[in-house]
Amino acid sequence: MNDLSLKIENNKHLSRPIETNSRYDQKQKDKIASAAKQFESLLTSMMLKSMNKTTGGMFGEEGYGSDMFDSIFEQEIASKMSETRSLGIAEMLYKKITGEELSSEMRHKISVHLNPGKIHNTQPSSDSTKVQPSTSAIERLNNYEKHIEEAASTFGIDKNVIKSIIMTESAANNKAVSGARAKGLMQLMDSTATDMGVRNVFNPKENIFGGTKYFAQMLRQYSGDIKLALAAYNAGPQNVEKFNGVPPFGETKNYINKVLGYLEHFNKRKE
């Protein structure tokens, strides 16, 4: 029987921890950390949404625009909770996959995913045409200045970016309906409007808040890269993932250039 005993203490394969971190370079680790943080924020948001349903929401079931404002607060609270590491889910996932601790430096790198205000890649393509909004379109846009500024502050998006999307989507016509049935100032599809808590898609404030919230999610998903966020807004994030970048669609490329052209125009006016 003595010959059958196992000397586990001398077995190097069992005593040595598995080295998983060597499988990933720094860029891959950044992506893993970002995905882990996004998952934690999403899970927290789902938990808050579930708790809200049992109490009729933060603003009551009958309050005007309550669904939209509940959704805004859920997203913001979830992001703040994820930032403060109150759940520790992101750290656990990152360590499980890479075998490493999620360092403070790494958390700083991925902070843009929780605060999409930092935008990069804003230059239009060299072959893009300069856009010049019409006087009537600018007059219509000015009517929504207060809502745009409020949405910009709420979601951390430059107000000129919101204006540029509105101009490209609808030329600031709050009653616009596309052939694909996208509606309002920021041309929201019914499914997107519902997901963003928009009850009346033709209400300017609700539409702007819903569209800005959705764009902020896309911007957060693509690490502040405005071209990828705009591509996702126009063609859907599934196409951005499918083509690993801006989809090779003429409409989407023109859309991005037009938004960035308007952005250049509004930024110059600000100077």
How many angstroms separate the CA atoms of 14 and 144, rounded? 65
The answer to whether the CB of 212 falls within 8 A of the CB of 151 is yes
How many angstroms separate the CA atoms of 120 and 224, rounded? 6
The answer to whether the CB of 188 falls within 8 A of the CB of 198 is yes
Distances (CA, A) of 82 to 39, 85, 92, 163: 9, 5, 13, 30
Q: H-helix or E-strand containing 148?
A: helix 145-155
The answer to whether the CB of 102 falls within 8 A of the CB of 40 is no
**Annotated active-site positions, please?**
169
